[in-house]
Amino acid sequence: MQLQKLRHGIERLIDSLAEGVTDRDQFTARMDRTKIRIAESEAKLSAQKTGEERRAHVCSSMSRLGELSNHIESQLNDPDWATKREIIRAVVQRIEVEPAKVAIVLRLPLEPSARGLEPIMVTLSRA
């Protein structure tokens, strides 16, 4: 809504210049300020959209992990070591060990019907 108002303001500035209400210097200064405000608003909107996508991804990942946990729990009451190892191999794509953190990259589909596996990264602090 704010972007629409700013774009409408640009149109009014152009009209005021065309009608001779404002001079060129005043028009240029106001147009530059308006363009900067539009760029800032677009950046905020983009950041908000990215944050919402990340939250949706995390929620979906947590949901899938919960489903996997419920499935494994109901299927396996007392698994042996080999079964546990196979479960870990099926879920963990890779483990990245760094001096300050350990990252576990999981391979879980985001949706139950998803065929391709998109990795999910879980980062743990070593502190």
Phi and psi for 111 in degrees, rounded to 5?
A: -125, 150
| 0.75 surpassed by pTM | no
Q: What is the DSSP letter of 98?
A: -
Q: How far is CA 70 from CA 2, 49, 64, 73, 75, in A?
A: 45, 31, 10, 5, 8
Q: Name beta bridge partners: 92.
A: 106
Whole-number pLDDT of residue 36:
92
The span from the CA of 96 to the CA of 13, in Å, is 55
Burial code of 53-65, b = ≥16 C-beta within 10 A, e = fewer?
eeeeeeebbeebe
What is the identity of the amino acid at 111?
E
The pLDDT tens digits for 14-62 are 888 888 888 888 888 988 999 999 999 989 888 888 888 888 888 888 8
The span from the CA of 70 to the CA of 78, in Å, is 15
Cα-Cα-Cα-Cα torsion 60, 66, 71, 72, nearest 10 degrees, comes to 120
Q: Name beta bridge partners: 95.
A: 104
Mean pLDDT confidence for 60-80: 77
The pLDDT tens digits for 97-125 are 888 888 888 876 555 555 444 556 666 56
